[in-house]
Amino acid sequence: MEHLVFEFGPYPERPRPAAAVIVGVVGSGNLEALCESAPLGGRLRVEVSSSVHGFGNTWKAVLGDFADRVRLPDLLITINDAGATPAVVGLRLAQAAAELGAA
């Protein structure tokens, strides 16, 4: 397993989602992402556990893109990944953003 942590922002304050949001499932080529409010000094933090090693830069690029688009402060996203492609990662994050009301 590879464990990666990324932080983005800080972003300006805005109303926080009340409840946690979960999208996707842990299945071959898929992932689950759990999005929760957390005191992060305005930052957006992503913690990834992946069964596939060596894609740190790809994660950083895809997640950074997402973070700069939604600009959600104090959000913790925890990801369990079973080998999702960047396209699937993007799809799941877009789903999460929609459910968080930030799409």
Cα atoms found within 13 Å of the Cα of residue 86, Cβ hemisphere only: 12
When binding is defined by CB under 8 A, the residue of 10, 42, 49, 91 that contacts another protein is: 49
Q: Which is nearer to another protein, 5 or 12 (CB)?
A: 5
Other Cβ atoms less than 10 A from the Cβ of 4: the count is: 16
Count of residues touching another protein (by CB under 8 A): 18
| Contact residues: another protein, CB under 8 A | 1, 20, 22, 25-28, 30, 32, 34, 36, 49-51, 78, 80-82
